Structures are given as C-alpha cells and as structure tokens.
Amino acid sequence: MFAKVSTFNPVPLVLTGPGALKKAAGRLRQVGYKRPLLVTDKGVASLPFFSELIDKLKEEKIDFVLYDKTQPNPPDTQVNEGAAIYKKERCDCLIAFGGGSPIDCAKAIGVLVSNGGKIQDYAKAFNTVPKPIPYLAAIPTTAGSGSECTAAAVVTNTEGHHYKMTIMDAHLLPSMAVVDPMIMLDLPPSLTSATGLDALTHAIEAYIALEANDYTNGLALGSIRLIFKYLPRAVANGRDVEARERMAYAQTMAGLAFNSAGLGLVHAMSHPLSATYNIPHGLANAMLLPWVMDFNLIACMEKMADIAIAADEDIHGLCPREAAAVAGQAVRRLTDDLGIIVNISEAAAASGTTADFEKDIARLVEDAMSDVFRPFNPRNSSAADIKAIYSKCWSSNTLELIEKLKSCM
C-alpha cells in the first residue's frame, strides 16, 4: 500500500511536560543564543505565564527584543515590521510565544531575515525558501495549531483582496518546540474548543491525506483518540490538568502528522473564510469538518471507520459504509456538545462581518480551489463540489444537524 517514497520530517527537539516553559530559557542559553526577537500578541503578553518566561530570560541574561503586535490570522504587514525590527536590533534567533498566529508570524519573519524579498515570493509553491530561518524556539499557548512542530506558516495577504497564503518548506521547521500544558490552563472555553477542533481537523485530515504513511497514521489516530476523550473535559473545566496535558500532546502529535502527511479540503475551504470574514481558524475548520467528511466518505471508508473507533463509537455489526458514516456523526456530536457555531453566516456575524453568499461565493470557491492543501485531499474536488459544501454549511442550523444526527443513531 505504501510502495512510494514518502517523508517524515519531525521537529529536532520537543521539550514537553508541565514546567517545560521554565527550562526553555536555559536551553536557549545552552545553545548559545543571546538576543532573541520574542514574537507574541498583546493578549498573550498580558497573561501571568508571560512574566514567567520574561523572568527566566532575564535570569539567563538573555537580552530579548519584544514584538507583541501579532494579530490573529497574521497579515503580511506584521511580518515586514517584525523582520525590520529583527535586523535593526541585530537579533540572533527567534522565540515565538502564543497560538498559531505568533508562531507563524515568527517563522515568516525568519524567512525574510534569512532570504530577503517579500513573503508573497515564497507562497507560490512548496519548497521555495532557499535558506533556513534563524534558530526558532516555538512555545504554543493554545492546544490547536501544532505550528510549533510544522514547517508551515500561514500569513494573510493584504495586497489587493485578502487571502491566506501558506509558506511550506523544511527550512521553516522550528529548532525546538516547548509544549507545556500548564500554560493552557487559563485558555477560555470558546478558545479551548475552537483550537482543539483545529487540532482534531489536523489529525483527521492527516490520517486520510494522500501523503499519509505509517509514521503519520500512528500519530494522527493517537491524536484523534486523545481529542475525543479529553477536549470535552478541557472545555468543561479548564483547570482539569490531565485533560489540558493530553490536549497539549494531542495537538503536537497532530502537527507532527500533518507536517508530513498534508491536510485537505477542510483547510483549503476554511482559509478563505478566515481571510474574508475574520472567522477564527479553528471555528472555520470545525464548521466545515463534518460536511467535508461526508464528501470524503466514498474515498476512504476503512479509514473513516478507524476514526469512528478512535472516537470510541460502537461500529459493531455495521456494514462498511455505515461504519464510515459514524465518524462524521461523532464529530457532529462533539461540536454540538461543545456548543460550537455551526454555520458560516452566524460565525461571520460573531466576528463582526457579513457573509453574503451571492456576492462572495465565486471568490471563496476560487481561493479554495487554489489552496495548497487541496491536492492532499483523498477525494478529487471540483469548483462545483466546493460550492455545494459551502452552501450546506452557510445557513445550516444546530436543530437540522441534531435531526441528521438522530437519523444516524
């Protein structure tokens, strides 16, 4: 089955476990770096564990420069600004502290610092970054993106119409990932569920992706199992340390898996939604995931049944198609339990924008069609398929979904 040559490209070091944050500065000192650009966002910089990192850096006499302006779905303008500061302040490495947005912003800053030019120059195809980024210590504060262990950076293009560009090249892989679940204890329920569902989307898309191999499959399935079990607990009680710990590891496992296996149509379709309506990345994925799983069903029934088992569903006695369909239902039940917004119109309104199907659909479809992750999807997709999935997700409501769920129980 895996007769072709494929890759597994893990991050060189994962420093992980409760208290890992305290060791990060010491490790940086050990490897000889003294002047990092610390990339974060204002929200993260106001949280108590940020001072913990600062104190440790000072203790180790590491003379950092702070860049705390990163916004969610980071725009190209912040990448330019961060790169200019890095050069002006003669920094020698990068620390990214935050969710996927600051980590991606730091990677993209690194691309410009090492290679010059504009970030758009490196987003046209994979593997177009000639020189490695500087040493990067990536410290996630959400259990979602997995960006601390991926060779990808997602940046919003603001030249002309807004769309999300993915820069993917082994030269973007962080040098060290620091995964400390204690940092995530204060993540509010809405962010916990949206980012956790992003991690679930990574694991599911990686498991069924065309470039999946046995290494990535093990990590992806393990991650799916952990997320179904522990995400509801982490949302219900953020101070449930065991749940936070498992979610922290599950998101890293999903990142390691998709970094080599690729993603699929959910991400290809969610990127235009975030760029156009500012919908948070995890939420956009969560809304689309069950619909894309329905679409993908005929391409990978056995793997879908594996996902249902990993979700702890009983598929005993079901025919292969029914068993595969249980996976999508398990995702719908999970998003319902977590109270996630289930349609694009509502999600856009919640993000302060208006989703106008007639006006926007052609552009959304066009951007999804050209997204770099679409070719990894196990089922080929046309513009008409993508339009049909967007329209199902546009105004579906929770009641309809629950009816759909009941009919499958």
Ligand X SMILES: NC(=O)c1ccc[n+]([C@@H]2O[C@H](COP(=O)([O-])OP(=O)(O)OC[C@H]3O[C@@H](n4cnc5c(N)ncnc54)[C@H](O)[C@@H]3O)[C@@H](O)[C@H]2O)c1
The residue ranges that bind ligand X (CB under 6 A) are 41, 43-44, 47, 72-73, 98-102, 104, 141-142, 144-147, 150, 152-154, 183-184, 186-187, 191, 195, 198, 281-282
Return the one option of ligand X, Fe ion, none that residue 104 interacts with (CB less than 5 to 8 A, by type).
ligand X
**Amino acid identity for residue 125 in this structure:** A
Q: Encoding tokens for residue 104?
A: 């991606």
DSSP 324-387: HHHHHHHHHHHHHHHT----HHHHHHHTT----HHHHHHHHHHHHHT-TTGGGSSS---HHHHH
Least spacing, CB of residue 300 vs Fe ion, in Å: 20
* CA 310 to the chain's CA centroid: 20
CB-facing half-sphere around the CA of 233: CA atoms within 13 A:
14
Return the one option of ligand X, Fe ion, none that residue 41 interacts with (CB less than 5 to 8 A, by type).
ligand X
Least spacing, CB of residue 126 vs ligand X, in Å: 13
* Residue whose CB is less far from Fe ion, 33 or 192: 192
Least spacing, CB of residue 99 vs ligand X, in Å: 2
DSSP 8-state symbol, 299: G
Contacts of 277 (CB under 8 A, 6+ apart): 344, 347, 348, 351, 353, 354, 355
**Residue 379: Cβ within 10 Å count:** 16
* Residue whose CB is less far from Fe ion, 198 or 360: 198
Segment contacting Fe ion (CB under 5 A): 22-30, 192-200, 248-256, 394-402?
192-200
Least spacing, CB of residue 88 vs ligand X, in Å: 25
* Residue whose CB is less far from ligand X, 187 or 334: 187
Q: Quick check: 313 binds Fe ion (CB under 5 A)?
A: no
Give me the sign of the Cα torsion angle 115, 118, 121, 127: positive
* Residue whose CB is less far from ligand X, 256 or 365: 256
* CA 333 to the chain's CA centroid: 21
Rg (CA), the chain: 20
Least spacing, CB of residue 93 vs ligand X, in Å: 19
Return the one option of Fe ion, ligand X, none that residue 203 interacts with (CB less than 5 to 8 A, by type).
none
* Residue whose CB is less far from ligand X, 78 or 142: 142
* Residue whose CB is less far from Fe ion, 180 or 198: 198
Segment contacting Fe ion (CB under 5 A): 85-93, 107-115, 190-198, 377-385?
190-198
- Beta strand 163-168 pairing with 152-157: antiparallel
Least spacing, CB of residue 42 vs ligand X, in Å: 7
Least spacing, CB of residue 205 vs ligand X, in Å: 11
Q: Quick check: 198 binds Fe ion (CB under 5 A)?
A: yes
* Residue whose CB is less far from ligand X, 196 or 328: 196
Contacts of 271 (CB under 8 A, 6+ apart): 154, 163, 164, 166, 284, 367, 368, 371
Least spacing, CB of residue 152 vs ligand X, in Å: 4
**Residue 121: Cβ within 10 Å count:** 14
**Amino acid identity for residue 261 in this structure:** A
Instruction: List phi, psi (to 5°) of 293.
Output: -65, -40
Return the one option of ligand X, Fe ion, none that residue 223 interacts with (CB less than 5 to 8 A, by type).
none
Q: Encoding tokens for residue 298?
A: 């005929």
Question: How far is residue 287's CA from residue 194's CA, in Å, rounded to a whole number?
Answer: 10
The label of the residue with tokens 């052609």 reads: 362
* Residue whose CB is less far from ligand X, 189 or 357: 189
Give the residue at shortest CB distance from Fe ion. 198
Q: Which residues contact Fe ion by CB under 5 A? A: 198
